[in-house]
Structure 1
Amino acid sequence: MKHRFSIRQRLLILLLSLITLLWLGAVLASFLQTRQELNHLFDEELLQWARTLLRSPGADALILPPFPDRDNPQRTDLQRPYRLQSLGKGILASSHGAAILPPWRPGTPLLQNVRMNGEEWRLATVTDGRRIAQVAENLDARQDVTGEIAQQLLAPLWLVLPLLALVIGFAVRQGLAPLRDLTARLEQRQPQALQPIAGPVPAELQPLLDALNGLFRRVDAAFAREQEFTAHAAHELRTPLAGLRIHAQLALRHAESRTEREALQGVVQGVDRATHVVEQLLALARLDADQLQRDEHIDVPSLVQRLRAAFAATTAAKGIHLTAEGPSPAILDGHKTWLEIALRNLLDNAIRYSPAGSIVHITWEAEGGRVSMMAVCDNGPGVPANALRRIFQPFYRDPNRMEEEGSGLGLAIVQRATEALGGRTDADAAGGGLCVHLIFSPNFPGKCPKKKAKAYE
């Protein structure tokens, strides 16, 4: 399964990765710079202690404060060992542990790192030509303290990264808002709506919008040509088919042999079937040509009763009982002609394929007076489960129903008319027969409990 590509996710990952790298680099540079500055301050302090020692009278009671460590103030390695010596008189003053200090030699730098007693120390040496003062500081202890101070100084920076991530996420979301708006506008469009998309869009989306509008224009032109051809062809076929049927019926009256009568009867039936296909094609063309408008309130119970009356003669001739069941009032917004076309085709199919002495059932459900579902159920041969999705395709005919005359366009017209009304179609053949649902509510589950058509006396 391929994952959908997300511009938002890609932007977030890219920006957050780059910002994190830059942030880490800045924090590391700041940390190193802070430690360097602290080491410089400690060096200055160490030199200051050495100069203070150089100016002292040389009393043994001179005590330098230990290197500060708030976590462990008793550490002995944090003491600053020192030594004050005279070039002529020897050692004038020294601290505990001063024995580890290296002997002074001419040319000794002011500050240097020396290894004493197995540890690294920072040694400050000052002289005035007569006396030499040396003060040392443990480097490991200094690095611990400088690191702790640097971390405390840079601690607020750790809060910056999550805040920065939130700001970047918000900025990316707002920046992609026009793309979401365009997507929402496209999702709300009906399949028949092929007019260009209007409205200002960002410069980056304008080429995409121009391409979409160009595609809509081409598709609209192609549909228009197809509808025009279908309508013209159907109209042109109507007259010769009617004339052919009249001639075949006249010939049938004067046929002398049984073979001639059977042949002419086949011609009449073929012409009737061709006429039915032409009528269905005209209905499809009319549905495709109509613009989607919802300016009518269809009284569904009234329309169903009118259709029952229209099919009364057909059902009576075949011994089929046509029933209707549903709440009243029940209103559906849309063109009444579209719903009537859909129901007429469903009833025509149901009556044609139902056996004599059965029931064809029309049901509807409503939510707050608005129709949410309609269904037409029969007791015909049914449709295999693997063919249910194909019965709405134009010219598809199920092998179980091939013995009956039909064009294969009836359910395609039902689906097209239902979509024009803003609904969708579904079919159920469980338990025998066929139940076709017209669903007009997005919250409707999709199938209603099937009304079993029973034989009646």
Structure 2
Amino acid sequence: MLRPSSLRGRLLLMVLGTSLAVWLAAAVMTWIDVRHELDELLDGHLAQAASLLVAQEVPELEDDDRVDAPVLHRYGRRVTFQVFQEGKLVLRSASAPDAPLVGDGRKPVSGFHTVDVGKRPWRVFATRGADKDVQVFVAERVSSRNDILFAVLRSTLWPMLVAMPILLLAGWWAVALGVRPLRTLGAALARRPAEDLRPLAAAGAPDEMRPLVDALNGLFERIALLLERERRFTGDAAHELRTPIAAIRAQAQVALGAGDAPQRRQALERTLAGCDRASRVVEQLLTLSKLEADAPRRSDPVDLGAVAQAVVAELAVAGIARHQNVSLSAEPHVVVEGDETLLAVLCRNLVDNALRYSPPGARIEVGVRRAGPRALLVVDDDGPGLSEPDRQRLGQRFFRAEGSEASGSGLGWSIVQRIAAVHGASVRALASPRLGGLCVEVGFPAAAEAPVRAGADAAMRK
């Protein structure tokens, strides 16, 4: 319970240690203060007693005579006095010695002194009498003062000493009660099954625990989102890879059973096409999974025209193979803030979709320009286009328009929309007013004029 790693033990040690330290400090301060006040009081009594002796007349005695005062109280031997006249002891208490308490009795002495008489310390007050040849000493045992001091301290500190164990128990109970919500929370978390990611109830939690409960609820929410993404990724992969894998298997069976070389070659080519499609689906799924991971991404000034130029140059070969005309019109220095790699993926998906879903001989026009404070990336084609209901469904995973013969997974649009969201851009699909097919516009917040990245400069020089 009191180990350093225990919060309750630490609190107990701090509370009880502080209480004990305060009690000891109070006892020391009481000791010092009471001793000072007691010394002042008893010194005043010695001075007062000396003044009474001074006020009295010294009796006329013979040369060798002296008067011994009687002992009237059982503590009388703890207080003593002496009166000397012309160096001779003429009056004393029964417990006083013959020799002067301070000095030799002839030389004038005054004030307070602490001396040893009979191996015991005495507090002595010395003063001159009414006659100049009279010396008065009044003394008290120091041990008597200590006895009074201990009696006062005993009556003062004893109740505090008795109360200390009660205070310790009360501190232990208060700390145990205070950390009970933490123990309750820990027990509740320990009993939870791994799949239970419901938020913790924070209604009855102390104010100091609310940040912890809120942080745990936020963690549960992030874990739930992460698990949902993993489940969705697994479901997407299983859903989309099922078709190409089945096609590859079917074509492999055809190739095994083919009786002539042309039929076998055709089956193997379709098998390779199925492998390419499966590879593309995996690549798209991985890209989408990375985008949904919400990892920090770099943001640099990027020349959007240079990115589009590099993508068009890469995909132009596929367009030529289908006798399609791919062109680019880009204004200079259209700069946006973002990740150049992700922007290239966005542009590649848009252009690739236009190539895939447009018939042979179609025109695909890519444009980059400014539109007021925004930068626009536009991809136009003269393909069959999409109906309004189909355009509304773009971005849904695995959605493909009915009647489309081109291969695809429908993930490309999800990737485009996710990258656009990361860059604060908007995506709009509409009927192309110039070519009659599909027109896709991506609007980016334009960046201030700044040096673009070296990769974009290199692309512009190609």
Shorter-chain TM range is 0.3 to 0.5
Q: Select the structure of larger CA radius of gyration.
A: 2
TM-score, length-scaled by structure 2: 0.43
